[in-house]
Structure 1
């Protein structure tokens, strides 16, 4: 190794020492991806997982394995949680609460907005700052330019850790309410999961005509890709009109879209397919028609969604 290489290596070691330590608790695919993104940026990372064997790969990459959750929390000021849900956080940290004071907990697990608010209060009761996070990309995209994460909680806490959080994906801070990030996460996944179900329903429908999924899915996916452009085709976005309480039916009406939903239910029934999804969609349009809004834009279905029952 020549002198320049030695200098570069020394500089890398110095940079690593200057970077703050981060703890990652929970080493499923997402937790491992976050750990590797942090390690690649030179952060010392301490990890803990209930099944210790899951840490083998990231330990080989340079992470330090803590023996207990308390040891993991005590190793870093910034603690990232990637667990199944919020009850898992309490299960894991129940014996580590004495170590929480002065730390920042960033819970990237999925749960309800109300549970995230309760967790923020719980953390504050133990002297810890708390951020709710929602990672909106799959594990392979963590740490890439395409990655982004919604956060909610105190602005100053987000800003103090922004550079580190940005290594996981672009941080998008929604506001101080701890429930906001989880609300956005659930809203995004409501669109995602419903779309996946719709794709499978459509694939099953076409399959009854002998069409193979390998043939039909590309066509269906190309249509889902165009939906955003279709909704933005007018002078105003649907969101602008919705906020104003306007539902102009000049391009598509509740009656027209409702008739289409009827045809989907009829076709699905004749094919012997599960009707849960098409009946749910049909119900939105039927309620709007029953309430006298047949001539309004399809966005009028939001009324019955907002006031279920």
Structure 2
């Protein structure tokens, strides 16, 4: 079961069961495969030839060009590495003309600013546009564990719901602001990659002390278990402005971070990640917030 909040798609009138998928990297192939498996007429195209072979064998229709692929369906889904890559495909005269009067769902990851820019471009060319992100790995696509988030016109998201249902799991519409899905994506990836970097650093420090990764892993999982209630508590602290440090004041966190830096550098291990966290805590304490909780750092970072 997915760890993300679940939001079932609303029941909507049927739309023509046809979709085009542009971009056949691992995620694009997973998306197209889910549409094919659900019986949706699926047209595929990729800049590099050959990646459509397996999908065509399963029943997808190959297109000779991106414009031809777009013209085959009322709905186009694009999933490429970033918006530079999607712009290179979408903003050609031929593809832009083919998209006019159709719907584009961009599931490419990038920044909220790029999403809004693409939304403005689409509006200026008569293209109905939804921006989105996929929050789960490729093996989940088409299964109950898939999580897709969308932003843009709610009626547009609902109209194409029956086709997008093929992607499985939960599909959540987050609001009319085109950049909102990308903002969620960036924030959640921030949690993931800084956490993974912290774990890699912990394994390096533990290894320098003779602790094998497999020995540390069960204890690391214990740390992960206590995080969800902390996420909820910190969010509540920030929203109500309490920043309670009753259980663990910021001065205590600063002391722990200082120990991590020293232990790392004693072994010649790069401590820049821990030093960055220590620096944020130290600056926040210096402003008189030492008795507050760690959540005060978010407020500090958000100051203009």
1:157 maps to 156
Contact 1:257-1:298 within 8 A present in 2 as well: yes
Q: Secondary structure at the match of 1:53?
A: coil
Q: Of the candidates 84, 99, 108, which is equivalent to residue 81 of structure 2?
A: 84
1:117 maps to 116
2:202 maps to 202
2:283 maps to 287
Contact 2:16-2:74 within 8 A present in 1 as well: no
1:247-258 pair list within 5 angstroms: 247-258=243-254
Tell me whether 1:30 sits opposite 2:27 in the alignment.
yes
The one-character-per-residue Cα deviations of 1:246-273 (angstroms, maximum 9, x if unpaired) are 1122111011111111111111111111
1:12 maps to none
Please give the alpha-carbon distance, in whole angstroms, between the structure 2 residues aligned to 1:222 and 1:145.
27
Contact 1:19-1:42 within 8 A present in 2 as well: no
Contact 1:123-1:130 within 8 A present in 2 as well: yes
Q: Secondary structure at the match of 1:171?
A: strand
Tell me whether 1:179 sits opposite 2:175 in the alignment.
no
1:15 maps to none
1:238 maps to 234
1:101 Cα deviation after fit: 1.3
When structure 1 is superposed on structure 2, of 22-31 and 207-216 the one drifting more is 207-216
1:35 Cα deviation after fit: 0.8
Q: Secondary structure at the match of 1:119?
A: helix
- Which TM-score applies when normalising by structure 2? 0.91
When structure 1 is superposed on structure 2, of 257-266 and 205-214 the one drifting more is 205-214
* Shift in alpha-carbon separation, 1:231–1:193, aligned structure 2, 3 A: closer
When structure 1 is superposed on structure 2, of 298-307 and 209-218 the one drifting more is 209-218
Tell me whether 1:60 sits opposite 2:57 in the alignment.
yes
Unaligned runs of 5+ in 2: 1-14
1:8 maps to none
Please give the alpha-carbon distance, in whole angstroms, between the structure 1 residues aligned to 2:156 and 2:192.
30
Structure with the bigger RCO (C-alpha within 8 Å, sep 6+) is 2
Q: CA RMSD of the aligned region, Å?
A: 1.5
Please give the alpha-carbon distance, in whole angstroms, between the structure 2 residues aligned to 1:238 and 1:273.
30
Q: Secondary structure at the match of 1:292?
A: helix
1:230 Cα deviation after fit: 4.7
Please give the alpha-carbon distance, in whole angstroms, between the structure 1 residues aligned to 2:54 and 2:242.
54
Please give the alpha-carbon distance, in whole angstroms, between the structure 1 residues aligned to 2:62 and 2:225.
42
1:100 maps to 99
- Which TM-score applies when normalising by structure 1? 0.89
Please give the alpha-carbon distance, in whole angstroms, between the structure 1 residues aligned to 2:161 and 2:225.
31
- In terms of Rg, which structure is larger? 1
* Shift in alpha-carbon separation, 1:262–1:283, aligned structure 2, 3 A: same
Please give the alpha-carbon distance, in whole angstroms, between the structure 2 residues aligned to 1:166 and 1:276.
44
The size of the alignment, in residue pairs, is: 287
Contact 1:254-1:293 within 8 A present in 2 as well: yes
Tell me whether 1:302 sits opposite 2:301 in the alignment.
no
